[in-house]
Amino acid sequence: MGESFYSDAVTIVFGKGRFVMDFKKTAPRIDRMGGEQRQSLVTEHNPVILQPQAAKMMMKILENNIEKYEEKFGEIKLPKRRKKEDIETSEANTESHNYIG
């Protein structure tokens, strides 16, 4: 069984023949160096690469499950204003950009 990965953001890019969904998790980190504390942010990436057909099937399965979730627990309310980094969709030529997170 694989390890779970909590994601607080996702970026989706696509090119001919594939979609790349880069699930990201950002968390604060405190390092102690020579008696000093330094705070930084650590971002972990967990990219998933799908063929276009698998991406479309996933979309339909997700839509179906969201519908069932809302029937059971109520409507999922989205924030009035979403940050750009929360959900991004962009077109990229992944054939020439070897982007994997």
Taking only the tens place, the pLDDT of each residue in 25-40 is 998 888 887 778 888 8
* Confidence bin at 87 (pLDDT 50/70/90): low
pLDDT per residue as tens digits for the range 43-76: 899 999 999 999 999 999 999 999 999 999 999 9
Residue 39, token pair as written in the block = 């705070």
Sign of the CA dihedral with 78 first, then 80, 83, and 84 last:
positive
Backbone dihedral region for residue 61 (phi beyond 0: left; psi -120 to 50: alpha; all else: beta): alpha
Asked if the model's pLDDT at residue 90 lies above 70, the reply is: no
- Percent of the chain residues topping a pLDDT of 90: 50
Per-residue pLDDT at 85: 53
Query: For the chain, what are the domain ranges?
Result: 9-74+82-91
